[in-house]
Structure 1
Amino acid sequence: MPRPNRVHPDGSFLTTPARGTLMGNRGILHDAEGRIGPARWRHRNWVCCLLSFRGRHRRLLAPGHYTELFFLDEAVALAAGHRPCAECRRADYRRWQAAWARAFGDSPPAPEMDARLHAARAEPGARGLRHETAKAGDLPDGAVFAVAARAWLRLGGRALPYAPEGWGAPEPLPGGTVRALTNAVTRRILQAGYAPRLHPSAGT
C-alpha cells in the first residue's frame, strides 16, 4: 500500500504508487505504527540519497528510525530543500561544494551549509517551507516553480509540468511572476553550474 512519504516540489507529502529515483531524510516523522505526523522535519541536515548503496537494506518506517522520503528526481529534492548526501553521492556532493564555492566564495562544512539552507527554506514551526516570487525567465535551469497549484521545471528555456510519474512535455515559460519553489540559496548553486540528476522524462 502506498504511504504518504513521496515529496512534492513544494515540500508537501503525497501518497502515490509512482516510484521515486532518490530517497531523503529529515529525521523521524512517523510513530511506532508507521503513521506520519504533521511535522515535516526534525533536524536541519536534509539530504537526498541513492535508493541502493553498498547492499544496505531498510525496513520502511521502522520504529525509532528516520522516515524515508522519496523524490521523482534531484530537481524535486532540491526544490523541497534537500542537498546531495556526502556518503552515498560523494561525487555529486563534491560538485555541490564546488558550485557553492563559486556562488558564495566560501567552502563551509556541511552543518553550516545546512544551517544556511534551512534559513532560506523553512518557515518557523517545522511544518512548511518558505517560497518567494520571481520571474520564470530569471530562474536557473533545474529550478522548480509553481503557477497556481501546479509545479514546473525550468529547463533549456522551457517549462516542464510536474506529475508524480514524471515531467510532462515542455511548454513556453509563463510571463509575469511565479512562486519559486527552489530556495534562493539553491538557486545560486544552480546558477553557479550545479546540474541536478533529472528523471528520464525530462529528456536529458
Structure 2
Amino acid sequence: MDPFGTIFSGAARGLFMGNRGGRMHDPDTRTLKERRRWVSKAWICCETRFRDRAREVWGESYTELFFLDEVTALAAGHRPCFECRRRAAADFAHCFAIGNGHAETPPLAHIDKVLHAERIDPESPARREKKLYVAFIDTLPDGAVIAYDGAVRQAYAIRGGYVLPWSAEGWGRPIPRPRRQLVTLVTPPSTVMALKAGYRPVWHPSACTESFERGYGGSAAA
C-alpha cells in the first residue's frame, strides 16, 4: 500500500502489515471487490510476526495489507494495532490526545472516527479516494508525508532538513526541504498533531539523511 492508501500488487516487502477491519477481497480469485476499500473504521498497522501465528494471505479471513514502514501506514490513514503493537499504540494514543487538545486519552473508537473522517474524500467516486490537505511545509513535523504533482503524483516524507521520495522498495535520495511553501499534505491532520506531540514512527532503513547533513552527499543509516 502506498501513502495515498492505494492498494497494489508488487514484489517489494515492507516492515509492517495491517488491515481495515475485515475482508475486502474475493478469497477464490484473490482480487479486491469492486467497491469495498474498508470494512470498519479501525484501520491498523501491525507486526508481520506475532506469537508464531501463520496466515494464508488474502484467504478466507481479513485482507492483509503491507506497508514499507510506519510512516507510510500513518500517511495512508492507519494507526498502530493495540494487540501486536501495544506500546506503540499506547504512545500514539497519548500523543494523539496531547496534539489534538484532549484532556485525557480518548477511546480507540473516537480516534478511529476522527481518522476516518480525515482520510476519506466524501466527494470522490464511491468514497474511495484519499482526502488531501494544504499546509505550510515549515509547520510539518518529521514523519509527515506530502505530495507534489507532476506527470505522476509523488509522495515525500519530511525528515529533518530534507524530504525523501517514496517508492515501494524504499525512500529515495534526500532532497533539501523547501521553505515557506504551501504543500499538499497526505498524512491525516490529527496524526500530524500526534507527530508534533512526540510520536516517533518506525522508518524503513532506506530513510537515510545523516551523511547529507554532514555534507558528504553519500548514504548512511539515520
Q: TM-score when scaled to structure 1?
A: 0.92
Task: Give the one of 126, 150, 154 matched to 1:150.
Answer: 154
Whole-Å separation in 1 of the counterparts to 2:175 and 2:59: 41
**What amino acid sits opposite 1:171 in the alignment?**
I
**Which digits, 9 at most, give the CA deviation of each residue in 1:75-111, with x for residues without a partner?**
0000000000001001101111221221122311111
* Runs of 5+ unmatched residues, structure 1: 1-6
* Equivalent residue in structure 2 for 1:84, among 80, 86, 91: 80
How far off is 1:41 after superposition?
Answer: 1.0
Indicate which of 169, 173, 193 corresponds to 1:169. 173
User: Is contact 1:42–1:126 with CA below 8 Å preserved after alignment?
Assistant: no
Letter in 1 for 2:4: D
What is the alpha-carbon distance in structure 2 between the residues aligned to residue 37 and residue 143 of structure 1?
30
Alignment of 1:41-190 (within 5 A): 41-63=38-60, 65-103=61-99, 104-105=101-102, 106-124=104-122, 125-148=126-149, 149-175=153-179, 176-190=181-195
Asked whether the equivalents of residues 40 and 126 of structure 1 are also in contact (C-alpha less than 8 Å), the reply is no
Question: Unpaired runs of 5+ in structure 2?
Answer: 209-221
Q: 1:37: how far off?
A: 2.4
Give me the whole-angstrom Cα distance separating, in 2, the residues matched to 1:182 and 1:160: 15
The answer to which of 129-138 and 142-151 deviates more is: 129-138
Q: Once the 2 structures are TM-superposed, how far is the Cα of residue 126 of structure 1 from its aligned partner? A: 4.2
User: In the alignment, which residue of structure 2 is the partner of 1:30?
Assistant: 25
1:155 offset after TM fit, Å? 0.5
Note the aligned Cα RMSD (angstroms): 1.3
SS at match of 1:10: coil
Structure 1 window deviating more from structure 2 (124-133 vs 163-172): it is: 124-133
Q: When the two structures are aligned, how many residues end up with a matched partner?
A: 197
Post-superposition CA distance 1:128-162 (Å, at most 9, x none): 22111122222111001110111100001210111
- SS of the residue corresponding to residue 146 of structure 2 reads strand
Tell me how far 1:20 sits from its aligned partner. 1.2
Tell me the percent identity: 43
